[in-house]
Structure 1
Amino acid sequence: MFAVIRTGGKQYVVKPGDRIKVEKLEANVGDTIEISEVLLVNKEGEVKLGNPVVEGAKVVASVVDHAKGPKVIVFKKRAKKGYKRKKGHRQLITTIEIKEIL
């Protein structure tokens, strides 16, 4: 059994017991969240495909941790003009554990 969910503008293939890192969610550590944007559900070989989401399907998960992702360097340069810009970014991420697919 697995499902394809959408959160934070990205899609993830999940099954019960998985731990995934997603963009920051407004929930405290230990909270239970429900993700209702389920795009596909595969339950014992029976596939339900949403248009765009599967009606009545949801994924229950718990928040494990909040952290910062790896640093991404954005560097711009124009040759022979003396123009250089360096900027760094660390995305806030939330680790969630999938409990069940309903």
Structure 2
Amino acid sequence: MYAVVSTGGKQYKVQEGDIFRVEKLPGEVGDTVTFDKVLLFSDGESVKIGQPMLDDIDIRGHIVEQGKSAKVIVFKYKRRKRYRRKQGHRQPYTAIKIDTIGAGSIAPAEDITGTEE
């Protein structure tokens, strides 16, 4: 079972138990995160594609880490002009672990308890 979610202007393919980095989201370590922009959902047998989004899919996770990625050096140089500028940048990120991927309103509770008979 997997889904494709959109966050921070990028798209990510996620499965239950995956840990992935996204653009920084507000929150502390341990806070729950829900993704509402689900573009695609597959349960192994069928695939649902949003037009543009799926409303009935529920994806929940929690924040594992708030951090900064490796430093990127920005170096500007113009030859013969004595112009040199060196600048560093560290992009903040949020690491998220996916707890559940499910069809929120589609999954019937009757099947689990056996009261459908």
- TM-score of the two chains, using structure 2 as the length reference: 0.82
Give the superposed CA RMSD: 1.1
Q: Which amino acid in structure 2 is aligned with residue 41 of structure 1?
A: F
After TM superposition, the runs of 4+ consecutive aligned structure 1 residues lying more than 2 A away are none
Choose 1 or 2 for highest CA Rg.
Answer: 2
CA distance in 2, matches of 1:45, 1:86: 53
- TM-score of the two chains, using structure 1 as the length reference: 0.93
Q: CA deviation at 1:90?
A: 0.5
For structure 1, the residue ranges without an aligned partner over 5 or more in a row are none
CA distance in 2, matches of 1:73, 1:6: 28
CA contact (8 A) 1:16 1:101 kept: yes
The percent identity for this pair of structures is 46
Instruction: Kindly indicate whether structure 1 or structure 2 has the higher relative contact order, using CA contacts under 8 Å at least 6 residues apart.
Output: 1
For residues 4-53 of structure 1, what are the alpha-carbon distances to aligned partners after superposition, in whole Å with 9 as ceiling and x for unaligned? Answer: 11111111110000001111110111111101111111112211111221
CA distance in 2, matches of 1:89, 1:58: 35
**Corresponding residue number in structure 2 for 1:27:** 27
Size of the aligned set, in residue pairs, is 102
